[in-house]
Amino acid sequence: MTEKRDRMIGAGTQLVTEVSINFGSSLAGLLIPVVGSPVVVAARQLVMACTVLPFYRPKLATLTWRRLWPALMLGVVLAVMNLSFYQAVDILGLGIAATIEFLGPFGLALAASRRLLDFVFAAAAAAGVFLLTWTDGTLDPLGIAFGLTAAASWAAYILLTRRVATAFPGLEGISVASIVSLALLVPLALITVDWALLDWRILGLLLAVGALSSAFPYTVDTFILRRITPRLYAIITSFGPVIAAVFGFLVLGETFTALQQVAILVVCVAAGAAIATQRERPRSDLELTAGAIP
C-alpha cells in the first residue's frame, strides 16, 4: 500500500514539474532573442544553485571518486541539455523543439526492447518528428541538431539523476551538479551578455525561468525518481510535447498547422503506447520480501 501511494505521489509530482518546466521554457523563449541562450541557461543554473546549496552543501569528507563522478557528469549534462534545448527553441520554436527533445527519454525507454511492436511505435514517432520539422518542404539542420543533442542529454540526465539520487542523501548530489553546470555556463554568459539590456523586467523573467525550469523541477526529480521507475517517468513525460505546444501558443504566439498538430500527437501517442505496453521486470524474491517489510 505504501509503495502504491509513493508511486501515485511521485507520478503526480512529475506531472506538475512538466507544467512548470514548459511554462518556464515559454518564458525563456521570450528572453532568448533579447539576451541569448547562454545568459538564460546560466541564470537558470544560478537560481538553482542559490536554492539548493544553502541547505544541501556536499560533505567533502565523505566524497569519494566513485560517488562523485556521476554528480560531476550530471552537471556537464545539465549544461549541454539546457543550452542545446534553448538553441533549438530559438531556431525551431518551443513546440517543435520540445517534441524532438522528447525522443531522448522515449529512446531510453525502448533501448533494451526487442519487440516488433516497439519498432513500429518508434517508426511512427520518427515519422511524426519528420512531418513536424518538414511541413513546408524544408529542414533546418542546425535546429534539429540542437534538438537531438538535447534529446541525448535528457536520456543521460535521467540515468545519472537516478544514480545520483541513490548515492547522495537529500539533494547533495544535485548541488554538486549545479556547481559544475554553473562553472561551465557563467564564462560563456559573461562573454555574450549585453549589460545594457538587463533591466528589472528582464531580471525578473530570468528569475522566474530559473525557479520554474530548474530550481523546482530538478530538485524534485530526485524525489520523483526515488518513487517511480524510469519507465513510468517516461510515460508521464510523453505529455510534455503537448504541454510545450500549448504554452508555445499561449505565451509565445506560436501557431501550428493541422499537420503539425497531428505530428505532435502522433509522437506523444506512439511514445506513450510503446512505454505503457512494456512488461515490468519480474521482481526477485529478495525485492518481494523487502517490499513486504513494513
CA distance 13 to 203: 28
Asked whether 100 and 147 are in contact (CB, 8 A), the reply is: yes
pLDDT tens-digit series, residues 195-207: 888 889 999 999 9
List the one residue out of 147, 149, 171 whose CA is nearest residue 161: 171
Q: What is the pTM of this model?
A: 0.81
Q: Residue 114 burial by CB count (10 A; 0-12/13-18/19+): exposed, middle or buried? A: exposed
Look at residue 283 and tell me whether its pLDDT is greater than 50: no
pLDDT tens-digit series, residues 218-249: 778 767 877 777 667 767 878 888 999 999 99
CA distance 259 to 272: 20
Could you identify the residue written with the cell 513486504? 292
Which H or E run includes 38? helix 37-52
Look at residue 88 and tell me whether its pLDDT is greater than 80: yes
What is the number of other CB atoms lying within 10 angstroms of the CB of residue 11?
A: 16
List the one residue out of 96, 46, 115 whose CA is nearest residue 242: 96
Asked whether 207 and 43 are in contact (CB, 8 A), the reply is: yes
